[in-house]
Every structure is written in C-alpha cells, then in structure tokens.
Amino acid sequence: EPIIVLSHVVKEFRQRGAGAAGTARAVDDASLVVDAGDIFGIIGYSGAGKSTLVRLINALERPTSGTVSVLGTDITALPESKLRPIRRKIGMIFQQFNLFSTKTVAQNIAYPLQLDHWRKDYQERRVAELLEFVGLAEHADKYPSQLSGGQKQRVGIARALATNPEILLADEATSALDPETTNEVMGLLKRVNEEFGITIVLITHQMNVVQQIANRVAVMSAGRVVECGDVYDVFAAP
Ligand code: ADP
Ligand code: ADP
C-alpha cells in the first residue's frame, strides 16, 4: 500500500545572483512510490537532489510541478493549516542530530510531546519507554555534549518517535558516524521498522547502508531518479 507517492516532481530554485532568469533544477521529473512498511533508500552523490526530495515529502518545499502525496493525501497545494496533521505523522532525524544543547536527553525526547500538550505524567511515561527502547535509560539526565555520536543519534531517533509517527525520514543519519556506530544505529532503525511497522526513508550517499537495511532503493543523479526497485535487483552484478 503506497504511503508516499511522487509523480513527475520538478523543483526549481532561483539561482543566487543569477538575476530573474536564472533557475537551477534540483529535482527533475522524479517519480517514486514508497510502500507502507518499506525501508526505502534514496541514494546519490552530494547535490543529486536528495535533501530537496525529503523537503518536498515533509512539505517544507512545494514542487514547481508534479504532485506529492503522503499518507493518502495530495499535499501538493494543501494549505499550511492542513499540513500540520500530516507533518505530525512524519519523524525526522539528521546528520548533525539537531539536539538542543541546553536540554537533557530526557528533555530533548519530551520536547515534541510538550509541543503537543501531552499531560505531564503521560510525557514522563513515554520518555521512559523511549529511553528504554534506545538503550539510554542510564543517560536520561546527561546533556548532548556528554554523549558519543551514536548516543546522540539514538536520542534523535527517540525524539523522532515520541509522537508515534508513521514515517521516519532519515537525512544522512549515519554520515557523521564511524562504521561500527553506523551499524549500531542501522540495527536500531531496523527494529523501529520491524517492531513498530514504521516506514523509513533513508537518504544517504553510503551505498553499504542502503544495501544492509533497505528493501527498496531509488538512485538519484542530477535531480533525476535514474533507477528504482528492489535493493537486490538494483545492486545485482550485471
Ligand atoms: P543532495 O541532498 O543530494 O546533496 P540537494 O537536494 O541538497 O542535494 O541539492 C540539489 C541541488 O539543488 C544542488 O545543486 C543544490 O545546490 C541545489 N539547491 C538545493 N536547495 C537549494 C535552494 N534552496 N536554493 C537554490 N538551490 C538549491
Ligand atoms: P546538503 O548538505 O543537504 O547538500 P547544504 O549544506 O548544501 O545541504 O545546504 C543547506 C541549506 O541550504 C539547505 O536548506 C539547502 O536547501 C540550502 N541550499 C543549498 N544549496 C543552495 C543554493 N545554491 N542556494 C540557496 N540555498 C541552497
């Protein structure tokens, strides 16, 4: 069952200092379907258009043309007020973790619950559950600066899961980590997918990451989806 559908999506940006006529095409006629339950890899070199694609999926950008549907809703021209319930179903994790340095681990994880006005006791129970799931119960009161990179990303994952999203978007989530820590974080993402049935979209330039945990993959180059299919087929030796 499709959960994200991009159809002939084009995204152009006005180029810096290029005058009115100059535009750059970051995404060029991209079409793809992510099914519910997928771990879907989007792979490509820097500048291929991967981040722009993610920003189109969570409606931080609107396409120049083409359509984007998420969770059964065409969000292409949806007004801002109607995007909020959809964005709440999408969790995000980042290369640089994007944690609040002045908040503890527990406070970072609780932050989306506060925004959502959860009752204090529900917040505490949810944070405890998430700390347990990501294996950081002992570190609840530490600050991000006291954690390793892998631990920081586990906090990022816990925070992204706090409000029970249906989709997790991971933008170069393991790119700042060493190989061993990368494996650890991938193992955790696999559990997120298997235990909670959360669909994961994994943007990366690391082919081994996609080969290890994704079931489907789109290869991007110069804004285009140049290949798309089962990981096994796309990476099969010719
Ligand atoms: P990737 O994530 O694969 O590295 P991006 O989506 O960040 O690729 O960028 C694709 C292309 O679009 C790049 O040439 C980038 O410079 C350009 N681009 C991205 N965002 C903007 C923007 N806001 N304004 C202008 N150009 C942009
Ligand atoms: P990435 O590492 O994903 O390629 P960058 O560090 O290149 O991202 O860009 C960071 C931010 O700047 C993003 O929001 C991106 O959309 C924007 N951006 C990237 N390239 C350009 C550009 N040529 N002109 C304007 N904004 C850009």
pLDDT digit string (tens) for 128-178? 999 999 999 999 999 999 999 999 999 999 999 999 999 999 999 999 999
Strand 39-43 relative to strand 216-221, pairing: parallel
Q: 81 C-alpha to center of ligand 2: Å?
A: 26
Closest C-alpha among 54, 67, 63 to residue 10: 63
Q: Report the pocket of ligand 2 as residue ranges, CB < 6 Å.
A: 16, 46, 51
The ligand minimizing its distance to the Cα of 14 is 1
- Put simply, whether the predicted model's pTM sits higher than 0.90 gets the answer no
ipTM over 0.90: no
Which atom of ligand 1 is nearest the CA belonging to 52?
6
Which atom of ligand 2 is nearest the CA belonging to 171?
3
What's the rounded Cα separation, in Å, for the pair 217 and 228? 6
Cβ neighbours of residue 38 closer than 8 Å, sequence gap 6 or more: 3, 199, 200, 201, 214, 215, 216
Task: pLDDT tens for the chain, 238 residues: list them.
Answer: 999 999 999 999 988 765 656 889 999 999 999 999 999 999 999 999 999 999 999 999 999 999 999 999 999 999 999 998 999 999 999 999 999 999 999 999 999 999 999 999 999 999 999 999 999 999 999 999 999 999 999 999 999 999 999 999 999 999 999 999 999 999 999 999 999 999 999 999 988 899 999 999 999 999 999 999 999 888 876 6
Q: 60 C-alpha to center of ligand 2: Å?
A: 13
Nearest CA to ligand 1 atom 12: 26
Nearest CA to ligand 1 atom 10: 49
